[in-house]
């Protein structure tokens, strides 16, 4: 729809219908009309989420409270997070016990869940602090604890007997006998290793039908087996298995002869070096229906260190794709995948080990740039269409901007005017970073808090 320089694109989905609607409301044929110019009919009764027991969970990463709120705004059912001392994310982790409490309270008010990670490979020195931490998480009301170390799992059962335990992917659980073993030892959910194939999942579910299965469907992949890499420890003394990986697999590498280190030989014809350890990113958005039928209960997105822009795009796209599952809407899912390929920086996508193939490496470059750049996030919206936006990177008058609304509904506008929200003065451009500009834009309609904006840069 064209409206005064503004275009609105509505995918064939439930749009922004609240996820808490009763099933009887969802079962009706819904006709959506915007200002009489577009009408879309879709049978929402066929959506696979119609019954709680059939609903597959969308699980998102949360590196801080802002990311948690963004993930929930874009359709995540649950998030996973953890305190730095006990989580496989030491750097860029803003969660302490106070913020974890805030996160859990925020989630529970919205009928969402928060899973807490205790998935380090613990040394003796770590064991003294863990029992007290478990007790505090119990008091806060965490929905589940994620662990891989048998010693930590034993401590969880001792300190919090009723805790729901999820086995971390770091435990390398790849077969049904291992799944049965962990079930007998009090684990409710297995986060399967990325090396598990679709056929493996089917057999595991058949052999142990009452075990919940979680599987990674999107995000970065480690070049080492289930993340057991020692390069970070070797180069800088920062252990990936204690949550402090510096990602040496993404570095540039050269070969040099022992006595002539000043004359390195490039492995590839690339002035920046080689990326022989650089795995492509996982993307299984077009396999969700098959994974659900195989027995997966929770679809997991990687990326606690990624931006709110990444979360909005990925959560929104996967939420919409999940609601398409079983509706034979291959073109819509194909469109969503193309959006992820073209409008997010990525390393190229792969299906990983799902189909029994070797996961692909991106040896040509460190990543693939996008023609679109994150330029802002909505902090407040008014009914008449005026919207406060916190600028990221930069935003210029006259630019084409896309606003990604919940469930990946995209609103396209041209920025005709930028007003400084602090002093009311008109601006030709605004900047994020150190400037931290907050601006007023005339969107033309009310949009929800946490919506992200992107601009075309080339």
Residue-level pLDDT at 94: 78
Cβ-proximal residues to 24 (8 Å cutoff; 6+ apart), any chain: none
pLDDT of 114 > 80? The answer is yes
Q: What are the pLDDT digits (tens) for 192-228?
A: 998 899 999 999 999 999 999 999 999 977 655 555 5
106 falls in which pLDDT band (50, 70, 90)?
very high
pLDDT of 304 > 70? The answer is yes
Token pair listed for 439: 């601006």
Count helices and strands in the chain by DSSP H and E runs: 12, 26
Residue-level pLDDT at 243: 52
Residue-level pLDDT at 244: 59
Domain with CATH 3.20.20.70 in the chain: 56-224+278-350
Residue in 174, 194, 166 with CA at minimum distance from that of residue 284: 194
Residue-level pLDDT at 8: 41
6-20, 94-108, 222-236, 281-295: range with lowest mean pLDDT: 6-20
Residue-level pLDDT at 325: 65
* Higher per-residue pLDDT: 256 or 160: 160
CB 417, CB 424: distance < 8 Å: no
| Mean pLDDT over the full length of the chain | 81
Element (H, E) at 431: strand 429-431
Residue-level pLDDT at 51: 44
Residue-level pLDDT at 365: 52
Return phi, psi of residue 186, to 5°: 90, 5
Q: 3-class DSSP state for residue 77? A: coil
pLDDT of 16 > 50? The answer is no
In the sheet with 372-381, reading across from the earlier edge strand, the strands are: 2-3, 6-9, 409-414, 400-405, 452-456, 372-381, 386-391, 438-442, 418-420, 426-427
110-114, 273-277, 436-440: range with lowest mean pLDDT: 273-277
Task: Read off the DSSP letter of residue 420.
Answer: E
Say if strands 78-81 and 29-34 run parallel, antiparallel, or are unpaired.
unpaired
Homologous superfamily (CATH) for 372-458: Translation factors (2.40.30.10)
Residue-level pLDDT at 41: 30
Residue-level pLDDT at 278: 61
Residue-level pLDDT at 270: 44
Distance CA 219, CA 301 (A): 6
Residue in 248, 250, 232 with CA at minimum distance from that of residue 240: 232
Q: What are the pLDDT digits (tens) for 226-247?
A: 555 556 555 666 655 555 566 6
Ranges of beta strands (E only) in 245-371 are 254-257, 260-266, 281-283, 298-301, 349-350
pLDDT of 11 > 50? The answer is no
CB 449, CB 405: distance < 8 Å: no
Our measurement of the distance from residue 202's CA atom to the centroid of its chain's CA atoms, rounded to an integer in Å, reads 25
360 falls in which pLDDT band (50, 70, 90)?
low
114-123, 268-277, 354-363: range with lowest mean pLDDT: 268-277
436 falls in which pLDDT band (50, 70, 90)?
confident
Q: What average pLDDT does the segment 146-164 reach?
A: 97
Residues forming beta bridges with residue 93, ordered by sequence position: none
How many Cβ atoms from other residues are within 10 Å of residue 210's Cβ?
7
Residue in 267, 232, 262 with CA at minimum distance from that of residue 247: 232
Residue-level pLDDT at 112: 98
Task: Read off the DSSP letter of residue 332.
Answer: H
CB 246, CB 232: distance < 8 Å: yes
Residue-level pLDDT at 293: 95
Residue-level pLDDT at 335: 93
pLDDT of 22 > 70? The answer is no
46 falls in which pLDDT band (50, 70, 90)?
very low
Token pair listed for 362: 């991106």
**Percent over 90 (pLDDT), the chain:** 57
Q: What are the pLDDT digits (tens) for 87-101?
A: 765 556 678 999 999
Residue-level pLDDT at 195: 87
Residue-level pLDDT at 91: 58
Compute the half-sphere exposure of residue 199: CA atoms within 13 Å on the CB side of its CA.
3
Length of the chain: 458
* Higher per-residue pLDDT: 69 or 326: 69
Residue-level pLDDT at 394: 95
Q: What average pLDDT does the segment 422-429 reach?
A: 95
Residues forming beta bridges with residue 218, ordered by sequence position: 283, 301
Residue-level pLDDT at 257: 64
4 falls in which pLDDT band (50, 70, 90)?
very low
Domain with CATH 2.40.30.10 in the chain: 372-458
- Which class would CATH give 56-224+278-350? alpha beta
271 falls in which pLDDT band (50, 70, 90)?
very low
Ranges of beta strands (E only) in 202-353 are 212-219, 254-257, 260-266, 281-283, 298-301, 349-350
DSSP secondary structure of 171-223:
G---SHHHHHHHHHTT--EEE--TT--HHHHHHHHHHSTTSEEEEEEEE---S
Residue-level pLDDT at 223: 58
């Amino acid at each position: 729809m064209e409206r005064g320089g503004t275009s609105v694109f509505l995918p064939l989905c439930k749009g922004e219908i609240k996820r808490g609607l009763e099933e009887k409301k969802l079962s009706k044929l819904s006709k959506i009309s915007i200002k009489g110019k577009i009408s879309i009919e879709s049978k929402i009764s066929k959506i696979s989420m119609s019954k709680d027991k059939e609903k597959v969970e969308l699980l998102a990463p949360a590196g801080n409270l802002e990311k948690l709120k963004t993930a929930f705004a874009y359709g995540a059912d649950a998030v996973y997070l953890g305190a730095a001392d006990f989580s496989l994310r030491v750097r860029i982790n803003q969660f302490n016990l106070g913020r974890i409490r805030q996160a859990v309270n925020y989630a529970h008010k919205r009928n969402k869940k928060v899973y807490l990670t205790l998935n380090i490979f613990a040394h003796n020195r770590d064991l003294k602090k863990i029992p007290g931490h478990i007790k505090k998480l119990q008091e806060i009301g965490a929905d589940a604890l994620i662990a891989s170390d048998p010693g930590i799992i034993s401590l969880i059962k001792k300190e919090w007997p009723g805790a729901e335990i999820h086995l971390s992917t770091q435990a390398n659980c790849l077969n049904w006998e291992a799944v049965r073993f962990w079930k007998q030892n009090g684990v409710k959910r297995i986060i399967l290793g990325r090396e598990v194939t679709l056929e493996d999942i089917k057999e595991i579910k058949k052999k142990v039908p009452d075990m919940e299965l979680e599987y990674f469907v999107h995000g970065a992949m480690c070049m080492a087996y289930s993340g057991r890499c020692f390069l970070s420890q070797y180069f800088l003394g920062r252990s990936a298995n204690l949550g402090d990986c510096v990602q040496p697999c993404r570095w540039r590498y050269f070969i040099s002869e022992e006595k002539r280190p000043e004359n390195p030989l490039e492995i590839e014809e690339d002035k920046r070096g080689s990326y022989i350890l650089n795995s492509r990113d996982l993307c299984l958005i077009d396999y969700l229906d098959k994974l659900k039928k195989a027995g997966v209960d929770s679809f997991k997105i990687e990326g606690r260190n990624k931006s709110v822009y990444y979360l909005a795009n990925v959560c929104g796209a996967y939420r919409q794709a999940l609601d398409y599952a079983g509706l034979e809407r291959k073109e819509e899912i194909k469109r969503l995948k193309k959006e992820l390929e073209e409008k997010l920086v990525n390393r190229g996508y792969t299906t990983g080990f799902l189909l029994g193939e070797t996961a692909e490496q991106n040896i040509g470059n460190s990543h693939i740039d996008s023609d679109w750049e994150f330029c802002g996030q909505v902090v407040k919206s008014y009914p008449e269409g005026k919207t406060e936006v916190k600028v990221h990177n930069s935003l210029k008058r006259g630019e084409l901007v896309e606003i990604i609304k919940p469930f990946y509904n995209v609103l396209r506008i041209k920025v005709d005017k930028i007003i400084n929200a602090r002093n009311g003065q008109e601006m030709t451009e605004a900047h994020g970073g150190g400037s931290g500009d907050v601006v007023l834009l005339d969107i033309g309609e009310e949009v929800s808090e946490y919506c992200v904006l992107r601009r075309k840069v080339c």
